[in-house]
Amino acid sequence: MRNPNLLIAALVGIALISLSGTAFAAEEAGNTSLGKIIMGGGLIGWVIILLSIISLALAIEHFVTVRRDKLVPPELIDEVEALFEEEEYQEALELCESEPNFLTNILSAGLPKINAGFDAMEKAMDEVAEEEAIKLHQKVGWLSLIGNIAPMMGLFGTVYGMIQAFNEITRLGQAVQPKDLSAGISTALITTLFGLFVAMPSLFFFFVFRNKVIKVSLEITAIADDLVERFRPHAS
C-alpha cells in the first residue's frame, strides 16, 4: 500500500459510517427519528455539527496537501539540482524565489550566504526549516483545537440542559411530569454525544497528520541538506 494513512482514514470512515448506521437503526427501533435527535441538541448541537463539517473538510484538505510530493514537486528538485551542477546559483535562487514552498524557502535563505561561508548558510537554512515546520504544525493544529472544543461544547450543552430541567422542577413543583423534563435532559445527553462523536475522529486525524508533518519535515530538510552538501568545505 503506497499510502497507509489513506488506508487508515478509509477504515475509520467505514467504521464511523457503520456506527452511524447502527445508531440510526436503534433510533428507528425506538421510534425516534434522526432529525428529532439533531433538533434535540438545540443551538449548541448545531454548533457542534458545524465543527464536525469543518473537521472533515480539514482532514480531506490535509490528505491532499500534507504530502512530500505536494509540498515539494520532484521535478522542481531535479531543476534545482541541475542548476547546482552547472554552478548557476543565481538562477537557482531565482527559481526558488519564483516557486515558494517548503524546500525552496529553505534554499532561498541559504543561497544568498554562499560567500559568507557554509556555517552561515547552514544556520540560515536551519532557521527557515524550523519556521516552515512550525507552519505545518499550526496548519494541522486546527484539528486538535476542534477535538478539544467539541467535548467542551458538549459539556456546556449538558450543563445548560440540566439547568433547564431543574428550572422546570422549580416552576411546576410537585406537579412536574417526566415529559416536562425531557427537553432539558435530551439537550444534556445529545450535546454530550455529539461532542464526543466529533472529538474522537478529530483528535485521531490530528495525531495522524502531526506524525506526517514530522516525517515530511525531516525528509525535506534532508533533501535541502543533500543539495547544499557541495558547499561544505572538506578537509584536505
Give dist(CA 170, CA 176) in Å, integer: 9
Give dist(CA 111, CA 93) in Å, integer: 6
**pLDDT tens for each residue of 206-236:** 999 999 999 999 999 999 999 888 888 864 4
pLDDT of residue 130 exceeding 90, the answer is yes
pLDDT of residue 144 exceeding 90, the answer is yes
Give dist(CA 27, CA 36) in Å, integer: 10
Maximum C-alpha span of the chain: 97
End-to-end CA distance of the chain: 46
CB atoms near residue 3 (< 10 Å):
11
Which stretch, 6-20, 39-53, 64-78, 173-187, has highest mean pLDDT?
Answer: 64-78
Integer-rounded Cα radius of gyration of the chain: 27
Give dist(CA 36, CA 45) in Å, integer: 12
**pLDDT tens for each residue of 145-201:** 999 999 998 888 888 777 777 776 777 767 666 665 666 676 777 888 888 889 999
pLDDT of residue 2 exceeding 50, the answer is no
Question: Residue 151: which of 201, 206, 209, 205 has the closest Cα?
Answer: 201
Mean pLDDT of 25-51: 64
Sign of CA dihedral 56, 62, 64, 65: positive
Question: Residue 156: which of 200, 191, 131, 125 has the closest Cα?
Answer: 191
pLDDT of residue 31 exceeding 60, the answer is no
> What percent of the chain has a predicted confidence (pLDDT) above 90?
34
pLDDT given at position 67: 86
pLDDT given at position 177: 67
Distances in whole angstroms, Cα of residue 8 to Cα of each of 11, 14, 44? 5, 10, 30
pLDDT given at position 14: 38
Question: Residue 162: which of 56, 61, 44, 80 has the closest Cα?
Answer: 44
Give dist(CA 170, CA 184) in Å, integer: 13
Q: Where are the domains positioned within the chain?
A: 4-71+133-231, 74-129
Q: Does residue 103 contact residue 224 with C-beta atoms inside 8 Å?
A: yes
Least confident interval from 6-20, 104-118, 148-162: 6-20
* Mean of the per-residue pLDDT values of the chain: 79
Distant-in-sequence, close-in-space partners of 134: CB < 8 Å, separation ≥ 6: none
pLDDT of residue 20 exceeding 70, the answer is no
